Amino acid sequence: MALPATRPTGAVPSGPAGAALSTDQLLEVYYYLRLTRTLEERLVALYRQTKVIGGLFRSLGQEGESVATAYALERGRNKDILSPLIRNLGSMLVMGAQPIEILRQYMAKADSPTRGRELNVHFNDLEKGYLGQISHLGDMIPVMAGIALSFKMRGQPRVGLVYIGDGGTSTGTFHEGVNFAAVQRLPLVVIGEYNHWAYSTPPEKQFAVKDLAEKAKGYGIPAVTVDGNDVFAVYEATKFAVDRARRGKGVHFIEVKTYRRKGHAEHDDQHYVSKDTLELWSKSNDPIDRYTQRILAADLVPEGDLKEIDDRVRVEVDQATDACVNEPLPGAESALPGVYVDPPAADKLWFKSL
């Protein structure tokens, strides 16, 4: 069932709210949703104070599908592995990335996970289960296919999950990677995020199919389209695909219909998006609002617990910020080591010693 391109709707219904999740899990999901949004709001403040060195990429409106897809994986040391896109901060937090790591990355601190070499969410912890993307969209699909291949070769019951945006499905590496994984029947779940914008390019200039799920037919893999702002629908669809992959049944494609409510990055004023559309998605289809209303309406969690989580998240983000905001940038010559194992460092050029 397809959703209209720009109108929010709950057209694809999910099962009974919270049927598969305990109260503690429901609260944990809420925690990650709230943490994602609060952390990004903090990053906006730091960006405006020019403490963020590069661009800032928001996932506003996409927190639900990020958190829900990651939450369907097995987490812990050496379990499942996902590869996020720039708007999957929530996925990384679910897998165990720490707020202070994100803050340090954006501010290019010496103690950031990449020691100031890479930006934003481009970092990884394979033991925790996330592999940072590179900027070349689509490339992570072959790489994640290779990770899933290693699971298959070693007979490990592990699953890989990789995200691709609506625009990213136009790349050659998307095609090569999904096809390769499909032929090899690898334990890989591909999340197609239909968020309506690839920078400023709308879907109708990106592809001639209506739904991304249609593309899956070309690879002989099953696909489903779900309401990406319905946390439960996304979780259930992903859980199904992940379990199926773990049983050795191969690749599954999940299209999540959502909406990018901010510009490509913080500098982008989104003049190409109508104010009415943004307001509609914000007012009536915010994934966190919908999740909260649903668990409260069904009496699944006490309201006071949500308030407690809000407070806890604020304190955590405050503490993480305070702990790293004044940290130094990396020393200049730390740019040289680590291109190879051997030789251990690049040559310092002669004119630097004059």
Partner 1 sequence: MAEVTFLEALRQGLWEEMERDERVFILGEDVGLYGGAFKVTDGFVKKFGESRVIDTPISEAAIVGAAAGAAHMGLRPVAEMQFIDFISCAYDMLTNYVATARYRAGLSTPMVVRGPCGGYVRGGPFHSQNPEAAFLHTPGLKIVYPATVRDAKGLIKSSIRDDDPVLYLEHKWLYRRIKAQLPEGEEILTPIGQARIAREGKHLSIISYGATLWKSLEAAEQLETQDGVSAEVLDLRTLLPLDDAAIVNTVKKTNKVLIVHEDTRTGGIAGEIAARINEQAFEWLDGPIMRVTAHDVPLPYAPTLEDFVLPQTDDIVKAARWLAKY
Per CB under 8 A, the list member of 19, 208, 341, 354 interacting with partner 1 is 341
Q: How far is the CB of 100 from partner 1 (least distance, A)?
A: 18
Separation of alpha carbons 206 and 321, rounded Å:
39
Q: Coil, strand, or helix at residue 201?
A: strand
User: Is 334 near partner 1 (CB under 8 A)?
Assistant: no
Please identify, using beta-carbon distances, which residue of 47 and 180 lies nearer to partner 1: 180
Give phi and psi for 340, each to the nearest 5: -125, 165
**Which stretch, 128-136, 225-233, 247-255, 299-307, contacts partner 1 (CB under 8 A)?**
128-136
Least distance (Å) from partner 1 to the CB of residue 126? 6
**Shortest reach from residue 118's CB to partner 1, in Å:** 5
Nearest CA-CA partner of 143 in 83, 95, 92, 212: 83
Give the residue, chosen from 89, 102, 108, 131, that forms a contact with partner 1 under the rule CB under 8 A: 131
Task: Please tell me the distance from the alpha carbon of residue 112 to that of residue 90, in angstroms, as a whole number.
Answer: 18
Q: Least distance from C-beta 246 to partner 1, angstroms?
A: 17
Least distance in Å: CB of 140 to partner 1?
8
**Residue 126 interacts with partner 1 (CB under 8 A): yes or no:** yes
Which strands form 252-257's sheet, in the order they lie side by side?
A: 81-83, 160-165, 188-194, 252-257, 223-227
Q: Give the range of 48-56, 88-96, 118-126, 277-285 binding partner 1 by CB under 8 A.
A: 118-126
Structure tokens at 303: 């309201």
First vs last Cα of the chain: how many Å apart? 68
Site for partner 1 in 55-114 (CB under 8 A): 114
Tell me the pairing of strands 252-257 and 223-227: parallel
Q: By CB under 8 A, what part of segment 133-162 binds partner 1?
A: 134-136, 139, 141-153
- Are 54 and 119 in contact by the 8 Å Cβ rule? The answer is yes
Count, residues near partner 1 per rule CB under 8 A:
42
**Can you tell me the distance from the alpha carbon of 310 to that of 294, in angstroms, rounded to the nearest whole number?**
17
Are residues 263 and 87 in contact, defined by beta-carbon separation less than 8 angstroms?
no
Please report how close the Cβ of residue 244 comes to partner 1 at its closest, in angstroms.
21
- The answer to whether the beta carbons of residues 101 and 266 sit under 8 Å apart is no
> What residue type is 223 in one-letter code?
A
| 4 contacts partner 1 (rule: CB under 8 A) | no
Per the DSSP assignment, residues forming a β-bridge with 161 are: 82, 189
The least distance separating partner 1 from the CB of residue 61, rounded to whole angstroms, comes to: 28
Interface mask toward partner 1 for 39-58; x: CB under 8 A? --------------------
Our finding on whether 117 is near partner 1 (CB under 8 A) is yes
Residues 165-204 within binding reach of partner 1 (CB under 8 A): 172-173, 176-177, 179-180, 183-184
Which residues, including other chains, have CB under 8 Å from residue 297's CB and lie 6 or more apart? none
User: Which residues in this chain contact partner 1 in the complex, by CB under 8 A?
Assistant: 114, 117-118, 122-124, 126, 131-132, 134-136, 139, 141-153, 172-173, 176-177, 179-180, 183-184, 338-343, 346, 350
